[in-house]
Structure 1
């Protein structure tokens, strides 16, 4: 992440993410759950343009359906811009233009990427010079995934997912994403997880006994070994996502049948991430999944977080 001063419109690009591992603890009184997760930023992006303006406004378009994305203060990017202005004492406004490439409500943190990009773009536009630590502090106030979208790469997340520790990940990991036109509500998926647990229903064959990320996950990432990573990927929310969307289970089976090493629901879903042995295999898996009528994208990670373009 970096910032630079500019009097003209500022363009910032921020990546979507997948959760290579996601362990979810019990629900706390504040409504949040403790998490132990491993994020990886992948090459599917949100582009945010910050234009000088007297007031605050927002427009959204892109390669994905944006019909349900709010353009008022419910939008994280708008809230990010206003939070930065309030914190830094900025008296002007900004017109934000967002070009979305990350599926909406797809469990890939597209809204969080918008917020991270808005922070970097407005910091550059206004010359507030908050720096990495200042922007990170604001990001933690906006949402659990926003700090990771700022930094990118591969990282462990604790707490609500916003307590980040960079993780060493060598080489390149190739993924095929199966996206869905119908998103899932993150709060609803967490609520379904709580309900399933209340009824004693198992969410996996071998659920984690603690909120520690397994050593095997970290070793596989450190070695850049997709074959070693595939069997240890895990998501506590997967059963809750599949519970209301049985088509996800069929897609998971098909991706592996077509040659992926393993598949996992990303975050709260419904996006599915298939880990492949390399780019050639990934392209084959992508083509096979597309032949079934699904939307499949070949991406790779890790990639950098929110950064200035041009």
Structure 2
């Protein structure tokens, strides 16, 4: 057309159906759909159960919109079918997860804790991290996991220093093996004054425990200028799980729009 351009790049996002419910066909041959729109703030492939949070949120929203009357136990059973971490995303707070993580025992927490999270430039596949964990084990006997008494006590008393001394993450060496640059991020947080630093879950998000809100802001500020991560967020918890923020209501947006 004479524009003078020899190439052009177009970006089109993927569509993810977190639930696809199909009813009877309409007269035009199409089926009505329920659309779920996600405003996602948890990093993708970041080791923070972001996908599980999406699942729990979508389930809670559909339950409210359609007035299913499902009991809490029924919702939790559906969550367990969706994924190991989805039940916790619905329940929230602090809990001990057993089995594959779906069996939850609520834990007593004596106060809030202040965290700083450093998001990495790229993600890490959870299956890949656990495969690396198995490879590093190299046939060695792995002890049966048990809940740390020191950790439970630190949570119950709300003691940040005690919690910092008690936290642990078995998959962390595997995550660092696949993403060695994370070691620099962890060290940057320690240097900035964090009480402790660890990889969150399977990574690659790095988590730092701070003594209080002011200390968390200081750690976050220094991490932002360290050049070791993509972005930094602060948060305090525990907090409740999936929560309805607005009342269910009808909309004039056309079905399928």
TM over 0.5: yes
Matches within 5 A, 1:147-296: 147-198=87-138, 209-293=143-227, 294=229, 295-296=231-232
Instruction: Return the TM-score normalized by structure 2.
Output: 0.83
Structure 2 residue aligned with 1:117, among 38, 43, 57? 57
* 4+ long deviations beyond 2 Å: 67-73
Quote the offset at 1:209 in angstroms. Answer: 3.9
Q: 1:298 to 1:69 in 2, by over 3 A?
A: farther
Larger radius of gyration: 2
Q: Secondary structure at the match of 1:281?
A: helix
Q: Give the Cα–Cα distance (whole angstroms) in 1 for the partners of residues 12 and 209 of structure 2.
A: 30
Quote the offset at 1:69 in angstroms. Answer: 8.1
Q: Give the Cα–Cα distance (whole angstroms) in 2 for the partners of residues 211 and 70 of structure 1.
A: 38
Unaligned 5+ residue runs, structure 1?
A: 1-66, 86-90, 203-207
Q: Secondary structure at the match of 2:35?
A: strand
Quote the offset at 1:291 in angstroms. Answer: 0.9
Matches within 5 A, 1:5-16: none
Q: Give the Cα–Cα distance (whole angstroms) in 1 for the partners of residues 12 and 162 of structure 2.
A: 39
Counterpart of 1:71? 15
Q: Secondary structure at the match of 2:202?
A: coil
Quote the offset at 1:115 in angstroms. Answer: 0.4
Cα distance per residue 1:61-86 (max 9 Å; x no partner): xxxxxx9985245xxx32xx649x9x
Q: Give the Cα–Cα distance (whole angstroms) in 2 for the partners of residues 123 and 225 of structure 1.
A: 37
1:95 aligns with 2:29: no
Quote the offset at 1:199 in angstroms. Answer: 6.1
Instruction: Return the TM-score normalized by structure 1.
Output: 0.69
Q: Secondary structure at the match of 1:252?
A: helix
CA RMSD for the aligned pairs? Answer: 2.2
Q: 1:108 to 1:305 in 2, by over 3 A?
A: same
Q: Give the Cα–Cα distance (whole angstroms) in 1 for the partners of residues 187 and 226 of structure 2.
A: 13
